[in-house]
Amino acid sequence: MIPYGKQDINQQDIDAVIDVLKSDFLTQGSVLPRFEKSVLEYCGVDYGIATNSATSALHVACLALGVGEGSLVWTSAISFVASSNCALYCGANVDFVDIDPDTVNISSQSLEHKLQFNIDNKLALPDLVIVVHMAGQSCDMEGINQLATIYGFSVIEDASHAIGGKYKGLPVGSCLYSDICIFSFHPVKIITTGEGGIALTNSEGLAEKMNLYRSHGVTREESLLNTNEGPWYYEQVVLGFNYRMTEMQAALGLSQMNRLDEFVSIRTEIAAKYNAQLCTDNFEKPTVTEDAFPSWHLYILQLNTHSLDRKNTFERLRGNGLGVNVHYRPIYLNPYYQKLGFQKGLCPEAENYYEKCISIPLFHGMSETDQDEVVSVINELSK
């Protein structure tokens, strides 16, 4: 079975982790700050707070922005559940914005319409909007930033799919148009730390808060202490969490960063091959906007459901050795969210997309033979 995604671990990665295992520090050592520095310098941003998962990074980002009881957070209807769960962890209310059917990203037009509808009907406006760079392609961040300025909400980029991508020539993660940007280092992502994530920001204040929240809310920072009884002294100043990334994870990530551009280049070449060779009779290929350079975490086809049944097609592709998947079901259609009162019909474009989408194999370790097999099997469906 050719999986839809897979990590690429080489001997340098293994040696980096072994070096940490032989060292004195398995957590809270010197490797984690070096990994954080490598990511923030790559993205051209001022601060980076690495965590044990991207979900944890989203959670501390929400907390740092003041999300809590009574807050309202909006996010894209199409994403993994973590993009909205992070707000629920804080006690906030959530709602969803429909997607652009071409890019599958949150639609800035739909966002503007929803904002204006709420104003016209004297409904609450969001305190925070979490946008999702689906499959590795940046959202319309300039347009979303303009709406944030007009309507007064903060912006988090859930860029879990998008490290190595660019928007308007700048790296995704520069935070030029957002308060905080989140990357994921899950094994199927562009680079991996096993599990892990990072929150990037240009705000010193937000970075200090996220740093506190990821480690129990405990600090030795002189400026944050109420008193100081000696060099051993620390205080818990907020209710934080144990969201720290280990030194082993950081070492793997630091090693993987050396190959990030190579990984994205290979993924881009595979996507170009698919674009050129896949038959379009029964599928729509991904659309890339002029402003975006995707990192190609996923390559998503949308089926012509008049000629192909999605379930049957999925089973046929799996039966022919392609580990296809579906990314994603609209979050609010999950039973937990249905119990919160969300109903089908909220985001029609998202629901239409879900009925048609299939993610096909794309990862930087794919052989030419694997790529040719994917093309052959999919094109056979059009005969």
Question: Using one digit for the tens of pLDDT, what is the confidence trace for 280-337?
Answer: 888 999 999 999 999 999 999 999 888 888 999 999 999 999 999 999 999 999 999 9
Nearest by Cα to 382 from 304, 327, 322, 326: 304
**What integer is the mean pLDDT of 355-369?**
96
Q: Say if residue 233 is preceded by a cis peptide, omega within 30 of 0.
A: no
Contact 56, 243 (CB under 8 A): yes
Q: Write down the CATH number for the domain with range 260-380.
A: 3.90.1150.10
Task: Please state which of the ranges 48-62, 175-189, 199-213, 302-316 shows the lowest mean pLDDT.
Answer: 302-316
Return the pLDDT at 229. 83
CATH code for residues 2-257: 3.40.640.10
Tokens of 332: 């609010």
Evaluate whether 130 touches 75 at the Cβ level (below 8 Å): yes
pLDDT for 53 beyond 80: yes
CA distance 84 to 346: 15
Domain with CATH 3.90.1150.10 in the chain: 260-380
Q: What is the mean pLDDT of the chain?
A: 96
- Indicate the pLDDT class of residue 138, thresholds 50, 70 and 90: very high
> Other CB atoms closer than 10 Å to residue 336's CB: what's the count?
12
Residues of the chain with CATH 3.40.640.10: 2-257
| Look-up of token digits 């804080």 | 90
What's the pLDDT band for 276 if we cut at 50, 70, 90?
Answer: very high
Q: What is the pLDDT of residue 322?
A: 97
Query: Which residue in 358, 377, 363 sits closest to 277, CA to CA?
Result: 377
